[in-house]
Structure 1
């Protein structure tokens, strides 16, 4: 179970403390067990800092504490504090990757039969869509909605999400798209064919959680081949 430790301290010598932390990161390379660390400053008190350190488990946190560099650096950090730091040990019982959840809902909404106005909860008005299959990027919520309506009019489709990687304000989603060709698609009349393609999408999210930018990579050529659009070129 993921374990998180909160270290609460007060110091007027944060720059020196920051350099000590850089030293610890350098000296424990390949041996430290912390998977993520964040240091935040209190907006209302410039001397108040909270460090949030994440570990795979409590046992891994104890291994990290047992490193000789950790003990030495900690004693030096304490010397820079105005008072003794306090520690809060937390077992994580819920871990929401909110941006990844938003991206997943985005794909579910695209493939649904409901009103596209529901995308307004997920996508910002200034959304910018980068699709190499289009001559021009779709910029703005209305342009993106028109793009989705084109695909909905041509296919009954759904996405299978294979994996997602979230880092900072970006979410990368690897997916497979499966559809039935039920309407005109760039001059190709409905054929009833079952078609599929794979792809990857990177979304950038705003602090409010809505998606503001998207980059698409998918097998458009393979899709056109399945629809028979390349047959004439092969003859």
Structure 2
């Protein structure tokens, strides 16, 4: 796949799955043996595990992602994003606070056979937890 095709696939994942709340698209975009390198507690493996993860994010944080950068080379796509979220449901065992937060992250996806196959990420969890008043801010 070309770099532009890979970027379009990742963009579609963010726009349709995360922002559009359409989990059915995962079957089309993601390999069945998808590999997550930082799974959430209770997240299964493979494509079904990614559905678990997306459900937890959508139900717990009601996220709206803005794509800040999208870079592709070879079989990798790097996306830098900002998330505006509201802690509207239980997330990772934390009861909803109803508070909003804005935090950033970077995801790296490996592509294989026109699908998302592997994922790594770094997320500013400290900022998120401070804004939700779950950790002190100073």
Instruction: Please report the TM-score for the alignment, with normalisation by the length of structure 2.
Output: 0.87
The structure-2 alpha-carbon separation of the partners of 1:193 and 1:135, relative to structure 1 and needing over 3 Å to count, comes to closer
Q: Which residue of 2 aligns with 1:128?
A: 35
2:49 to 143, 147, 157: 143
Structure 1 CA distance for aligned equivalents of residues 50 and 3 of structure 2:
27
Following superposition, the deviation at residue 102 of structure 1 comes to: 0.3
On the 8 A contact 2:41/2:92 being kept in 1, the answer is no
2:19 maps to what in 1? 111
* 1:118-169 deviation digits (Å, cap 9, x = unpaired): 11111110000122x7469853011111111111111211111111111011
Tell me which of 92, 107, 118 is aligned to 1:186.
Answer: 92
- Which residues of 2 match residues 155-170 of structure 1 at below 5 A? 155-170=61-76
Cα separation, 1, equivalents of 2:126 and 2:108:
20
Higher relative contact order (CA 8 A, sep 6+): 2
User: Which structure's CA Rg is the greater one?
Assistant: 1
**In 2, are the aligned partners of 1:127 and 1:211 still within 8 Å (CA)?**
yes
User: For the structure 1 residues 103 and 219, does the alpha-carbon distance in structure 2 shift closer, same or farther, using more than 3 Å as the test?
Assistant: same
Structure 1 stretches of 4+ moved >3 Å: 133-138
1:104 and 1:120 mapped to 2: Cα distance?
A: 16
Q: C-alpha separation between the residues in 1 aligned to 2:119 and 2:32? A: 13
Contact 1:129 1:137 in 2 (8 A): no
Secondary structure at 1:178's aligned position in 2? strand
Gaps of 5+ in 2: none
2:83 corresponds in structure 1 to 177
Residues 155 and 179 of structure 1 are in contact (CA less than 8 Å); yes or no, is this contact kept in structure 2?
A: yes
Corresponding residue number in structure 2 for 1:196: 102
Q: Secondary structure at the match of 2:57?
A: helix
Q: For 1:48-67, list aligned pairs within 5 A.
A: none
TM-score, length basis structure 1 = 0.53
- 1:226 and 1:123, CA in 2 relative to 1: closer, same or farther beyond 3 A? same
1:149 and 1:119, CA in 2 relative to 1: closer, same or farther beyond 3 A?
same
Q: Which runs of 5+ in 1 are unaligned?
A: 1-94
Cα separation, partners in 2 of 1:186 and 1:137, compared to 1, 3 Å: closer
